[in-house]
Structures are given as structure tokens and as C-alpha cells.
């Protein structure tokens, strides 16, 4: 479900920044919005 590259990109940003996923949405492609829901707590 979703592009593996987008999944890795989102997870890497979340773990590195240690911030809310919303911070990552500011500089992620629109596709991440769909796959990003997989990472929501």
C-alpha cells in the first residue's frame, strides 16, 4: 500500500526530527498525504 520510497521517507523524517508528522507534510509530496495515514498513531 503506497510507494515504499514515500514510506521510508516519512519514517526517516519522523525518526530523525523526532517531531510531529505534520512538520514533515510541509516538505513532502502530495502522495505522502495518502500513505502518511499508515503512520498515524
Candidates 37, 40, 29; CA nearest to 6 is 29
- The DSSP 8-state label assigned to residue 26 in this structure reads T
Phi and psi at 2, nearest 5°, equal 90, 165
State the average pLDDT over residues 6-19.
52
Among 1, 39, 8, 5, smallest CA distance to 21 is for: 39
Output the pLDDT for position 19: 52
**CA atoms within a 13 Å half-sphere pointing along the CA-CB vector of 19:** 7
On whether the pTM is more than 0.85, the answer is no
Q: What's the pLDDT at 30?
A: 58
pLDDT 10s digits, 13-37: 544 555 555 555 555 555 555 655 5
Amino acid at each position: 500500500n503506497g510507494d515504499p520510497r514515500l514510506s521510508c521517507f516519512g519514517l526517516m523524517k519522523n525518526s530523525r526530527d523526532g517531531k510531529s508528522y505534520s512538520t514533515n507534510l510541509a516538505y513532502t509530496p502530495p502522495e505522502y498525504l495518502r500513505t502518511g495515514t499508515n503512520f498515524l498513531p
